Structure 1
Amino acid sequence: MPRTADKPEMTSTTPFDPASATIAIVTYNRSGLLTRLLESITKMDPKPGHVVIIDNASVDDTTALVESYREKLGTELVYRRLETNTGGSGGFSEGMRTAYELGSTWIWLMDDDVEVLPDGLARMGAWAPRFKSIQGRRYDYDGSEFYWQYRVAEPLGIPIPFAPAGFDASGFKPMNSGCFEGMFIHRDIVEQIGLPDPRFFIYWDDQMYGWLASRKTTSVIVDEFVLRRTREIKQWDMGIRHMNASSNAYRYYIMRNRGHMKNYYRSLGVYNPVLFGIGTALTFGKELIRLVAVERTVRGTSNLFRGIRDGGKIARDASWQPMPPLVGAEG
């Protein structure tokens, strides 16, 4: 499939209806953080038509907490507790499915470690008549402006860490990536590219989904602060950018999931083995730097090598298929 070229801006004369939007949240054993998010939703004006909470088999008091907000949330609450922990990837896939089946026109994805600013939905909705894949901005836990890498070097399959942070008078910038911490996407695009791929478990899933969306429509990041992060993460401050701490699980999936990415690239006819291999090598190098500079250790490299091994198995799987489109599915 050739790359979509010269995609026009998506302009609609239909005004945005907040009731047509669903907030889809994925949570796992973080009821304290989820409390802050749900409390922020009670203060929203306007509110979405639905709030969907996908619980990745939490063993804390998440279920009781969610039920305590059912009457005071101010909108319809849909709670689904999964039998097993499917990771963020599986949770967002199920959250997208649930919101789609509810008939939502707009689906706003978010983790449990953010809170919504009171006018967040109105700010996102102001752009809805114009675009169909939109990312708002976030404040970090300390109130600073959080920088998100909104551009991907497509042949390498990695984010561009120094894409310009500033906005011009238009108030938006084209993006070819995505982040499930705030992705705001129209059901028309979901129908075309299908659900997020649960096979990733964690990492690269939102970048891949945003990249797939950008091939169907003009995707943008807008100069609107709509979320605030509520969890402090250990960081290495590099001045104009930060590098966050990671975990052994993340290190494994960062490398393993390059196999899924390679297969997506192949399926769309954009795979260049040399350039993609360079992207994989740069990813490996970045994780080594993260270990040394942020976590002050060299332990954990075995997880990177295990990920490379298992990613190779995925890339060689002749039965692998991309997530199917939802066109024709009942919504």
Structure 2
Amino acid sequence: MAEQRVDGVAAPETVAVVVVTYNRADLLEGMLAGLRTQERAPDGVVVVDNASTDRTAEVLRAAVAAGDLPLEVLTSPTNVGGAGGFRAGVRAAYERGFDRFWLMDDDVVPAPSCLRVLMEADEDCLMAVREDRHGALCEKAALRFDLRDPRALKPKTAMVETTYGTRASMPERVELENVAFEGFLVRRRVVERIGLPDASYFIFYDDVDFAVRARRAGFRIWALRDAVLVRQLDFDQQHDLAGWKGYYMYRNLFAVHLRYGENAAVRAKPWVVAAGVVALSPLRGGRAEARNVIRGLRDARRMRQQPPTTVE
């Protein structure tokens, strides 16, 4: 078990789970039930409710009353997205003095050993490895996230799922170049060095941005094969490029390139991609996707500045 030094004496590290939820009360109940089964119990649980309008508040009141989780609820007056929720939750956990923060969505359920396996590893940045409800590997975190080669139309050029196929085929540890805020465990000193998640992303790529900043600050990120996280929903958001989520997908992908592209050609890729999407819009996506990519490019230019490295 990883330890810290308190007045020269070794003490186990503490960990807070940070959960963001919005209008998915049934999934939230399942995730909280998974936290209750952990072999290594969390020392704190911070749930950020993004102004849900379903029975989420009722679920959280019942969980607080049950008293079997060290639960704190932060209710946002408006929906600030996953990015804003994780920023608020990590800030709260940081201010309460926890040593590690385990970031979690409401649509995953950790296996009973998951947190124990993560906490036993003496690393600053760790990822649990996701599978679907049928036990198939569905971990899409990138082994390679290329912000150097302008020919890489999509920067994620290799990921866990497609590289290994099954959990059994994975090594015990796999180094990653980006993460998802679904089972990501990060030490306090990382936040002290690079700051909080960036709320300006709203949804999508806030986790990628955080990982890029962490790696550029010298931290390595490891996926642990034996830290099992079960995803309750299918991955289908990539087909929504003409819907409201498509705007954020394009805008935030472009923002990552503009902020962290390693050369002028990579930083120019958003204009190339936008032009291609508009040109192909009569054949796929239509006017809605064309509008999303044009708005996304315009607004990404306003996000070029990297977030502050202070915890504010």
Structure 2 SS opposite 1:227: strand
Q: Percent identity?
A: 28
Match for residue 53 of structure 1 among 38, 47, 53: 47
Equivalence for 1:276: 267
Equivalence for 1:8: none
What is the CA–CA distance in structure 2 between the aligned matches of 1:283 and 1:176, rounded to whole Å?
Answer: 25
On the 8 A contact 1:258/1:280 being kept in 2, the answer is no
Deviations 1:54-112 (A, max 9, x none): 01111111111101011435231110000111111101111110111111111000111
When residues 184 and 286 of structure 1 are mapped into structure 2, their CA distance, relative to the original with a 3 A threshold, is: farther
What is the CA–CA distance in structure 2 between the aligned matches of 1:312 and 1:36, rounded to whole Å?
Answer: 39
Shift of 1:152: 0.9
What is the CA–CA distance in structure 2 between the aligned matches of 1:307 and 1:176, rounded to whole Å?
Answer: 24
What is the CA–CA distance in structure 2 between the aligned matches of 1:196 and 1:110, rounded to whole Å?
Answer: 13
Give ranges in structure 1 of 5+ residues lacking alignment. 1-10, 235-242
Q: How does 1:162-311 map to 2 (within 5 A)?
A: 164-165=163-164, 171-215=172-216, 216-234=218-236, 244-246=238-240, 248-258=243-253, 260-262=255-257, 264-265=259-260, 271-278=262-269, 281=272, 298=286, 300-301=288-289, 302-311=291-300
What is the CA–CA distance in structure 2 between the aligned matches of 1:208 and 1:191, rounded to whole Å?
Answer: 16
1:186 alignment partner AA: R
What is the CA–CA distance in structure 2 between the aligned matches of 1:149 and 1:72, rounded to whole Å?
Answer: 35
Deviations 1:123-174 (A, max 9, x none): 11121x2x10011101113331113132311325822245633788861122
What is the CA–CA distance in structure 2 between the aligned matches of 1:86 and 1:57, rounded to whole Å?
Answer: 9
Match for residue 81 of structure 2 among 68, 74, 87: 87
When residues 92 and 217 of structure 1 are mapped into structure 2, their CA distance, relative to the original with a 3 A threshold, is: same
1:152 alignment partner AA: F
Deviations 1:216-243 (A, max 9, x none): 3122112124211112344xxxxxxxx8
On the 8 A contact 2:257/2:270 being kept in 1, the answer is no
On the 8 A contact 1:42/1:73 being kept in 2, the answer is no
On the 8 A contact 1:123/1:226 being kept in 2, the answer is no
Higher helix residue share: 2
Equivalence for 2:138: 146
Q: How does 1:14-53 map to 2 (within 5 A)?
A: 17=12, 20-53=14-47
In the comparison of the two structures, how many residue pairs are matched?
A: 295
What is the CA–CA distance in structure 1 between the aligned matches of 2:277 and 2:133, rounded to whole Å?
Answer: 24
TM-score between both structures, scaled by the size of structure 1: 0.78
TM-score between both structures, scaled by the size of structure 2: 0.82
Equivalence for 1:132: 124
What is the CA–CA distance in structure 1 between the aligned matches of 2:238 and 2:60, rounded to whole Å?
Answer: 30
Is 2:157 the partner of 1:160?
A: yes
Equivalence for 2:7: none
Equivalence for 1:238: none
Give ranges in structure 2 of 5+ residues lacking alignment. 5-9
What is the CA–CA distance in structure 1 between the aligned matches of 2:92 and 2:255, rounded to whole Å?
Answer: 24
Is 2:101 the partner of 1:100?
A: no
When residues 303 and 217 of structure 1 are mapped into structure 2, their CA distance, relative to the original with a 3 A threshold, is: same
On the 8 A contact 1:42/1:72 being kept in 2, the answer is no
What is the CA–CA distance in structure 1 between the aligned matches of 2:132 and 2:246, rounded to whole Å?
Answer: 23
When residues 147 and 170 of structure 1 are mapped into structure 2, their CA distance, relative to the original with a 3 A threshold, is: closer
On the 8 A contact 1:136/1:183 being kept in 2, the answer is yes
On the 8 A contact 1:139/1:225 being kept in 2, the answer is no
What is the CA–CA distance in structure 1 between the aligned matches of 2:132 and 2:24, rounded to whole Å?
Answer: 18
When residues 78 and 199 of structure 1 are mapped into structure 2, their CA distance, relative to the original with a 3 A threshold, is: same
What is the CA–CA distance in structure 1 between the aligned matches of 2:169 and 2:215, rounded to whole Å?
Answer: 21
On the 8 A contact 1:176/1:210 being kept in 2, the answer is yes
